[in-house]
């Protein structure tokens, strides 16, 4: 195009992804973007996912993007006893040394109904202050779901489905 500078790079970045599934219930995924021009990694991620049925889920991930992102992310849905499960997520910025999102909850599920109590805290933006302090939002969700009829209270399912790989609402 006229008016634009020509591309001066001698080589494109190398990009690769590796998926390993040694068992039905778990897998490991890794990806990498490496720049031969600067001999550095531009992006990388490593993810472990374990799921043995709909109520036994554990995820752990590490994400890196040069000059902008360095995060860990751990999430879980796990049974405590019959009908009882815990749910949690901890997404942490290693760059900013602070949590981006924390979520903790407990739920009871019977054949006909589910009750959930979940606490969530997440960053919503920057305050624009000199230290780039971020504002956070705190929420407490209480939900009663009558299976086949509907729910009463704040809906948390979409947050759990986005934040916990493998989570599906009952």
Per-residue pLDDT tens digits for 143-155: 998 888 877 776 7
pTM of structure: 0.81
- Bigger pLDDT: 57 or 159? 57
When pLDDT is averaged across residues 17-26 and rounded to a whole number, the result is: 95
Q: How far apart are CA 57 and CA 51, in angstroms?
A: 4
Nearest-angstrom CA–CA distance, 6 and 61:
38
Q: What is the pLDDT of residue 53?
A: 87
The pLDDT, as a whole number, for residue 156 is 84
For position 129, what pLDDT does the model report? 45
Domains along the sequence of the chain with CATH: 14-163 (2.40.160)
Residue 4 has pLDDT above 80, yes or no: no
pLDDT score of 131: 47
Q: What pLDDT is recorded for position 9?
A: 67
Confidence at residue 59, expressed as pLDDT on a 0 to 100 scale:
97
Q: Across residues 10-37, what is the average pLDDT?
A: 93
Report pLDDT digits (tens) over 33-92.
999 988 899 999 999 999 998 889 999 999 999 988 899 999 999 999 999 999 999 999
**Residue whose C-alpha is closest to residue 42's, from 50, 27, 32, 51:** 32
Q: How confident is the model over 94-144, as pLDDT tens digits?
A: 998 999 999 999 999 999 999 999 999 998 865 544 444 568 899 999 999
């Amino acid at each position: 195009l006229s008016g634009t500078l020509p591309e001066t790079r001698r080589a494109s970045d190398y990009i690769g992804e590796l998926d390993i599934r040694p068992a039905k219930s778990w897998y490991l995924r890794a990806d990498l973007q490496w720049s031969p021009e600067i001999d550095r990694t531009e992006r990388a991620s490593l993810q472990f996912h374990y799921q043995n049925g709909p109520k036994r889920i554990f995820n752990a991930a590490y994400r890196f993007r040069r000059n902008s992102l360095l995060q860990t992310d751990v999430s879980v849905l796990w049974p405590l006893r019959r009908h009882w499960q815990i749910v949690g997520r901890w997404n942490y910025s290693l760059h900013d040394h602070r949590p981006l999102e924390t979520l903790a909850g407990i739920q009871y599920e019977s054949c006909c109904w589910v009750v959930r109590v979940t606490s969530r805290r997440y960053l919503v933006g920057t305050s624009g202050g000199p230290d780039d302090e971020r504002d956070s939002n705190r929420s407490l969700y209480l939900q009663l779901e009558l299976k086949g009829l509907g729910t009463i209270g704040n809906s948390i399912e979409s947050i759990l489905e986005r934040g916990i790989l493998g989570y599906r609402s009952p």
